[in-house]
Amino acid sequence: MDGKVIAVALNPSIDRTIQIQALQPYELNRVVHSETDPGGKGINVARVLHNFQTEAIVTGFVAGSTGHSLLTFLQQKQISQDFLEIEGETRTNVKAFDRKAHKTTEFNEGGCPVSPEDLQAFRKKFQSLCQGANIVVLSGSLPPRVPQDIYAQLIGIAKEQGAKTILDADGEALHEGLKSTPYAVKPNIHELEQLMGKKLQTPQDVLQAAHELIQSGISLVIVSMGADGAVVADAQEAFRVHSWDIPVQSATGAGDSMVGSLAYALLHGLSLREIAQLTTAAGTITASKPGTQVCGQAEVMKSIPLVTVEPMKMA
């Protein structure tokens, strides 16, 4: 089925990606290629959904000339948006890709401070947007002065409107957001370890931690583990997922591609096994692309047979 998805981007950015031959700290580095794209996890999610021919409206805060540039980018990419414009300046992030090491060094600004009045105005906008929405995705960092429980508040509003919610956050925002019991959550291994307060040494440890979240009322958990794949679980079953070998160009947006494709999967009623395959394929394809480019639907669907899915059981 087709449906409406809201992607929340409270702290969006303009992302400037530069490529250099080999990073030399504290020395002059010649840029061999550069590109500029709209950035932030919520915007990446909306871009993925747009590529999957799914209606997605991205919302959050924008400010200043950088914010206007961001809106122009979204318009050019034909991504629907309904942002609240505030005082200040939307942040700019720089991502430096080292061609020799195949690694990216990121420089992210903190973002534009949000006043209590702006936050209240956004809550009203968000409540209106959630009417008729099937899925609401809440992801990314928070701007200065925004309370750490904002995702918990927004999850509550979305659930009142009958929408399923997906949370992809870290630190205190993740911890607080879980208190409102989102439908699905996608921490990476490091975020899950921080949440649990311990190292997760094996996939079985990861599954145990995922089941603790499920026992709290969350329906679906995806734990991304980088090159080690992912663990995908609900109350009935669980899978260990491996991608195929592919040259990594940039990890930027890989997790967001998993979240965007998860929203698509939930809209279309896919099984947990199919969700495991689709989200891993989406994340892998995006990781193979330079800069902040994200996966397309056709290439993801074509790659699904390359994904290895193994059932897991609780010990």
Determine the Cα–Cα distance for residues 169 and 186; give it in Å rounded to an integer.
8
Quick check: is 256 catalytic? yes
Identify the pLDDT of residue 227.
81
Identify the pLDDT of residue 139.
97
pLDDT band, residue 315 (cuts 50/70/90): low
Radius of gyration of the CA atoms of the chain, in A: 19
% of the chain exceeding 70 in pLDDT: 99
Identify the pLDDT of residue 204.
95
The one catalytic residue in 15, 37, 168, 256 is 256
Mean pLDDT of 5-13: 97
Task: Find out whether 88 and 111 touch, Cβ atoms under 8 Å.
Answer: no
% of the chain exceeding 90 in pLDDT: 86
**For the segment 63-109, what is each residue's pLDDT rounded down to a tens digit?**
999 999 999 999 998 999 999 999 999 999 999 989 999 888 999 99
Enumerate the β-bridge partners of residue 56. 5
The model's pTM:
0.94
Residue 54 phi, psi dihedral angles, 5° rounding: -120, 130
Token pair for residue 255?
A: 């997790």
pLDDT for residue 314 is more than 90:
no
**For the segment 266-303, what is each residue's pLDDT rounded down to a tens digit?**
999 999 999 999 999 999 999 888 777 899 999 999 99
Domains and CATH numbers, the chain: 4-312 (3.40.1190.20)
Identify the pLDDT of residue 299.
96
- Average pLDDT, rounded, for the chain: 94
